Amino acid sequence: MRAGDAESAAALAAAVVAAACREAVAERRIALVALSGGETPWLMLEKFRTLAIPWPSVFVAQVDERVAPRCDAGRNLTRLEHILVVEGPLPAANLLAMPVEGSDPESGCAAYQQRLEALAGRPLVLDLVQLGLGIDGHTASLVPGDPVLEVGDRDVAMSGEYHGRRRMTLTLPALSRARSRLWLVTGASKAVALGELLERRGNTPALRVPCDRTDVVADVAALGSRSS
């Protein structure tokens, strides 16, 4: 889906997430979606929180999170909580924070997977995963060359250090098993990586995510020459 600018892309993406939530609640009584961090999704979330969906039945998980103290400005949770809970309609208990503050992050990964499975079954099947795209082709905290890319027996794992911090992330199996996926990509800096994703060329982490059951929302800046 092509959008004229980042705000239009945010509105389109919010509508996709809302539709997935409504469908999941109608079919399975709850919706479990996983949302990414970074700068791109925040405008989408501001649109999303205004939409009419059955909020008490919607649960929001994290795609990834930096290992940092609670309320750290670098935490994705900080912005998610502010937009969706403090200023939005999502019940606080329905925002499922990745447990990155403990002394044993590996145990935290296992605990988070179990928490998600308690809602969505085992093996874990998320209703929708919203993904971003880095200029190096990473998505979630699955970055080029990181051993976490080869994790096949867990849905939540720790990455190595990236930009100075380790991260907890959903793994490729979890992303691949989701009922639907949504890529939200904006800005001219993402044009090369988005081109590789759309043309399925190269070997970046994003290309290891299946392309079926997937929507791509991008603005004209990210699409570059494809926008014409």
What domains lie within the chain, and their CATH numbers? 2-219 (3.40.50.1360)
- Residue 142, Ramachandran bin (φ over 0: left; ψ between -120 and 50: alpha; else beta): beta
**Positive or negative torsion for Cα 99, 143, 181, 225:** positive
Residue 4 structure tokens: 């004229």
CB atoms within 10 A of CB 218: 28
The reported pLDDT for the residue numbered 163 is: 75
**pLDDT, tens only, 150-168:** 999 999 999 988 877 889 9
Per-residue pLDDT of the chain (228 residues; tens, 9 = 90+): 999 999 999 999 999 999 999 999 999 999 999 999 877 899 999 999 999 999 999 999 999 999 888 878 789 999 999 999 999 999 999 999 999 998 888 999 999 999 999 999 999 999 999 999 999 999 999 999 999 999 999 999 999 888 778 899 999 999 999 999 999 999 999 999 999 999 999 999 999 999 999 999 999 999 986 665
Token pair of 37 as six digits: 């961090």
What's the mean per-residue pLDDT of the chain?
A: 94
